[in-house]
């Protein structure tokens, strides 16, 4: 029987790993609106994946989100992988950014990133226009009716 780790353990562990990399841990693992990913400093933004297993699965979409957030924040992306059984941490970076990332992690105050890549990556998510709801009872009823129709089960006739 394996021991299941708590969310409190992972938050504490994430904070410790970020600090050992010279990064400031992000509140709530970057789930807020402004600060993203798990840790960052002036030049680097980092995402951490931890596992008790002997292998880990990395989804390309996670890397794409990290790269997107790095472009928005004008920082270098670093993907950290931690195997909890051995407490080993590995860093995944693009080959052309390896020496730069090494400088920023070991001595973050000495260097400032000069990110020239301004192309934003399409994460494959559709953007829908935001629907404005007027504050009137008629508008509210219209919205509720449209919403009910949108999620109503489609039934097929047997005839």
Report the pLDDT value the prediction gives residue 118, as an integer from 0 to 100.
46
The dihedrals phi and psi of 47, each to the nearest 5 degrees, come to -115, 135
How far is residue 145's CA from residue 27's CA, in Å, rounded to a whole number? 39
Q: What is the pLDDT of residue 79?
A: 92
> Counting beta carbons within 10 angstroms of the beta carbon of residue 105, is it exposed (0 to 12), middle (13 to 18) or buried (19 or more)?
buried
Strand partners, 50: 82
> Following DSSP, what letter does each residue of 92-136 receive, concatenated?
E--GGGHHHHHHHHHSTTT--------PPPP-S----PPPP--SS
Domain residue ranges of the chain, discontinuous segments joined by +: 7-106
Q: Which CATH architecture has domain 7-106?
A: 3-Layer(aba) Sandwich (3.40)
For the full predicted model, state whether its pTM sits above 0.95.
no
CA-based radius of gyration for the chain: 22
Low-confidence ranges of the chain (pLDDT < 50): 1, 111-121, 133
């Amino acid at each position: 029987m394996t021991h299941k780790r708590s969310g409190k353990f992972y938050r504490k562990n994430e904070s410790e790993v970020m600090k050992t990399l010279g990064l400031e841990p992000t509140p709530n693992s970057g789930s807020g609106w402004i600060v993203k990913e798990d840790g960052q400093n002036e030049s680097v933004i980092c995402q951490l994946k931890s596992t008790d297993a002997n292998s880990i699965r990395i989804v390309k979409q996670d890397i794409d989100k990290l790269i997107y957030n790095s472009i928005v924040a004008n920082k270098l992306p670093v993907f950290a992988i931690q195997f909890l059984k051995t407490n080993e941490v590995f860093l995944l970076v693009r080959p052309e950014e390896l020496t730069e990332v090494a400088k920023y992690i070991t001595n973050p105050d000495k260097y400032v990133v000069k990110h020239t890549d301004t192309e934003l990556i399409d994460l494959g998510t559709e953007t829908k226009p935001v629907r404005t709801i007027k504050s009137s009872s008629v508008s509210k009823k219209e919205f509720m009716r449209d919403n009910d129709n949108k999620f109503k089960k489609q039934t097929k006739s047997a005839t």
